[in-house]
């Protein structure tokens, strides 16, 4: 009496489970970042106000120095990467705060959890890379190399896998979908893992979008 529910093939089920697990790990990473921001705020340290990402190269250098016992704002400013637009004086002023031990402790644990979660994301990416390698190829990368990425996608996105995801997707689908506006590699990866490639199972595109 009920329409059968959609269940992808076994290989896609495996990929879907891994990608959903990866998404959960990323959500954990966001939580740990929020806890680090809160600890910095409670110490009146405005590091995340002078740089866009405290988990970037400069931010992590400073955070690791802070939890290791460094307190001199001028020393922190020396860790500034050349790509940071804030001046050393601005960074020094932002790091003149109250280094209360309880908040330093919270920051230390949040940073450790962030690092731990990043390690698990990297391990998850390795497994996803392995599983994608088992999918049949619709295009020969040697005969038909992957086109250069669109200009808007040349910069790596946050939480983007370190392996050649775009090449995998091109090989599996037979077409490079990243030139489509809004279709970055991670978006295509999510659609592939949830729906698969056999679009004939949907009577119309509306049915697919509804599901």
pLDDT tens, 23-48? 999 999 999 999 999 999 999 998 87
pLDDT digits (tens, 9 = 90+) for 102-143: 999 999 999 999 999 999 999 999 999 999 999 999 998 888
pTM for the full predicted model = 0.85
> What percentage of residues in the chain have a pLDDT greater than 70?
94
Q: Which of 140, 127, 125, 128 is nearest to 170 (CA)?
A: 140
DSSP string for residues in 82-141: TT--S-HHHHHHHT-S---HHHHHHHHHHHHHHHHHHHHHHHHHHHHHHHHHTSPPSS-T
């Amino acid at each position: 009496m009920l329409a059968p529910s959609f269940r992808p093939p076994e290989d896609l089920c495996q990929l879907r489970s891994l990608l959903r697990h990866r998404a959960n790990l990323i959500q954990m990473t966001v939580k740990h970042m929020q806890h680090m921001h809160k600890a910095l705020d409670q110490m009146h340290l405005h590091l995340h106000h002078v740089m866009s990402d405290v988990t970037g190269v400069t931010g992590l250098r400073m955070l690791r120095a802070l939890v290791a016992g460094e307190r001199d704002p001028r020393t922190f400013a020396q860790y500034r990467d050349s790509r940071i637009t804030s001046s050393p004086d601005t960074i020094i002023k932002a790091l003149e705060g109250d280094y209360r031990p309880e908040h330093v402790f919270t920051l230390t644990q949040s940073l450790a959890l962030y690092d731990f979660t990043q390690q698990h994301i990297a391990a998850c990416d390795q497994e996803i890379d392995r599983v994608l390698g088992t999918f049949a190829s619709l295009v020969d990368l040697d005969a038909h190399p992957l086109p250069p990425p669109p200009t808007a996608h040349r910069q790596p996105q946050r939480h983007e896998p370190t392996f050649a995801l775009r090449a995998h997707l091109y090989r599996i689908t037979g077409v490079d979908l990243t030139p489509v506006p809004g279709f970055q590699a991670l978006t295509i990866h999510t659609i592939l893992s949830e729906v698969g490639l056999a679009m004939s199972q949907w009577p119309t595109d509306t049915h697919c979008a509804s599901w």
